[in-house]
Amino acid sequence: MVARFLALGVAFLLAACGSAEETGEAAAGEPVTVSGPAIDVLAFGDSLFAGYRLDRDESYPAKLQDALRARGLNVTITNAGVSGDTTAAGLQRIDFVLDSMAGQPDLVLVELGANDMLRGLPAGQARENLDAILRTLDQRGIPVMVYGMRAAPNLGGDYGRNFDAIFPELAEKYDAGLVPFFIEPLIFDRSLVQQDQLHPTAEGVDAMVDKTVEQIEERIEAL
């Protein structure tokens, strides 16, 4: 479902997971010292985190972890992405996922909502579910990064305004970081999409990581 959003988004845009010190690899292949306290991050989302039709190490959370460690951060990211998840499905499993972890994560990346939009579910319902997820994390004292999405243009202006506003408004409400439309690189370069013209390739995931890694790095350093 999330995948169909990529094709719809073209029209929209044109119209508008270690120890205290280890050795990593920089993007240029030079050794990097990974140091500092261990930071555990939970990536909680849908197929864009799960890595649909990609190897596990090619998923966005895996490649984001690599990019952060290449910058010297001692980060481990647990991938809790489930393809097809709506905000309601995420709400149903958030407590289970958190309780199943060995310890409380230092940061949670929340990426949900696109499947609600693609199924035409009410924007208000998506807002309520995401609000409940963020409230759960807030009550547990866990910092959050909210990944924003945008509505497809065929759903109309009112729906688009209501849906698009969910993410920045909830991020502000819960004092969370906001990661804007992180699939934007796929909209402008279709070579970054799989043969089905729907899901990102491994190179597409690289582009998504490049777009977001600095913002995640800044959030982690502020913990």
Domains present along the chain, CATH in parentheses? 2-221 (3.40.50.1110)
Per-residue pLDDT band at 30 (split at 50, 70, 90): low
Mean pLDDT of 72-101: 98
Entry field: residues in the chain = 223
Per-residue pLDDT band at 194 (split at 50, 70, 90): confident
Joined tokens for residue 9: 């988004």
Catalytic residues: 47, 196, 199
What's the pLDDT at 7? Answer: 44
Is the Cβ–Cβ distance between 164 and 151 less than 8 Å?
yes
Residue 179, beta-bridge partner list:
147
H helix or E strand, kind and range, residue 76: strand 73-81
H helix or E strand, kind and range, residue 67: helix 60-70
Entry pTM? 0.87
Q: Please report where in the chains the tokens 């280890």 appear, as a residue.
A: 22
Give the CA count within 13 Å in the CB-facing half-sphere of 126. 28
